[in-house]
Structure 1
Amino acid sequence: MNDFRDFGSARTSEMFVTRIGWWRPYYELSDGQFIYARLSYKGTFKRYAIIDSAADTFTIKRKSLISRTLMFNRGEDETIGELQPSAWKRDVELKMNNGFEAIYLFKKLFSRAYTLTSNAYGDILDVKQIAWGIKKPFTVSFAADNYQQGKPDVAVLTMIGVHFILYRQQQAAAAS
């Protein structure tokens, strides 16, 4: 965890996500100089996601085999929130145990930008997919005020959004 920089020391409002590796890739949130978070997968068939940041390590696992609800854990088993994908839309609702609630959504029908929005904080971040971006598949832009009481680490929230974009791409590839 010592190789990650705290997101509070970021001096830019735009970053990018870099894909590293081909066969077992992992993704890093970077501003070109420092790394703020990393998303990787563990287990056969990408059973669960691991998000490493300067603060801690987090995992995203399914609640049960047939449930759509995903558990957001600190470490392996300390549940700190839930992620609930919508049944008929592309939205994902995030509910943290500390009261923070937000929704990942595409604001427009054919948009490539995945936005995290909250009733209390407004738009927090936008994750935009880059066409033919193999090495840098996503750019991320943040709101100006990222450090408010009760809001989780924005780098971790970004990697959750990247995870769901990759998850939707995996589902679309399996369906075709």
Structure 2
Amino acid sequence: MNDLRDFNNARTSEMFIMRHNWWKPYYELTDGQFLYGRLSYNGVFKRYAIIESVEGTFTIKRKSLIGRNMLLNKGEEETIGEMIPSIWKRDVGIQMNNGFEANYLFKKLFSRAYTLTSNSYGDLLEIKQVPFGIKKPFAITFKNETYNTFKFDVPLLTMIGVHFMLYRQAQAAAAGAS
């Protein structure tokens, strides 16, 4: 984890996600020179996600076996937030224990851009799927000018959004295969 850089030292508002490995992929948030966050999966059939940043290691696990809500944990057990996917839409709400609330949503019907919006801060970041991007599947644009002084871990919020985009892609592929 010592190879990750603090996001406050970032000099650009545009980054991308690099995909590594084919059979057991992991994803890294980078600006081309430095790494800011990492997303990987652990367990049989991708049971839970592991996100690494300078702030520490976080896991995303299901709250229950058949429920759709997911818990965001610091480490393995300390719950710091909850994510609630919408039933009939592609939106995902996130509620942190420190009072931060935001929504990951697609602003247009056929959009490939996933936007994190908050009532307090406005649009924070946009995750755009790159067509035919096997090695670089997502481009990240930070919308809010105060992203360096933001009170929460920005690479964590970015990797949560990437996780949900990959999660929705896996659901669509499973629905198309049956």
Distance 2:92 2:134 in 1: 25
Q: In the alignment, what sits opposite 1:161? A: 161
Deviation at 1:54, TM superposition (A): 1.0
Q: In the alignment, what sits opposite 1:30? A: 30
Change (3 A) 1:106 1:92: same
Deviation at 1:55, TM superposition (A): 1.2
Q: In the alignment, what sits opposite 1:145? A: 146
Q: In the alignment, what sits opposite 1:128? A: 128
1:43-86 alpha-carbon deviations (Å, 9 max, x no partner): 00000000000110000000010111100000000000000000
* TM-score, normalised by the number of residues in structure 2: 0.97
RMSD: 0.8
- Residues 7, 148 of structure 2: 8 Å contact kept: no
Secondary structure at the counterpart of residue 46 of structure 1: coil
Distance 1:120 1:146 in 2: 13
Q: In the alignment, does 2:31 pair up with 1:17? A: no
Deviation at 1:167, TM superposition (A): 0.1
1:136-160 alpha-carbon deviations (Å, 9 max, x no partner): 00000002111446x3111110000
* TM-score, normalised by the number of residues in structure 1: 0.98
Distance 2:33 2:148 in 1: 21
For structure 2, list consecutive stretches of 5 or more residues without a partner in the other structure.
none
Q: In the alignment, what sits opposite 1:174? A: 174
Amino acid at match of 2:164: F
Matches within 5 A, 1:32-111: 32-111=32-111
Secondary structure at the counterpart of residue 33 of structure 1: coil
Secondary structure at the counterpart of residue 66 of structure 1: coil
Q: In the alignment, does 2:7 pair up with 1:7? A: yes
Distance 2:49 2:6 in 1: 21
Secondary structure at the counterpart of residue 160 of structure 1: helix
Distance 1:153 1:46 in 2: 24
Distance 1:131 1:52 in 2: 26
Secondary structure at the counterpart of residue 24 of structure 1: coil
**Runs of 4+ off more than 4 Å:** none
Q: Alignment identity in percent?
A: 69
**Number of residue pairs aligned between Structure 1 and Structure 2:** 175
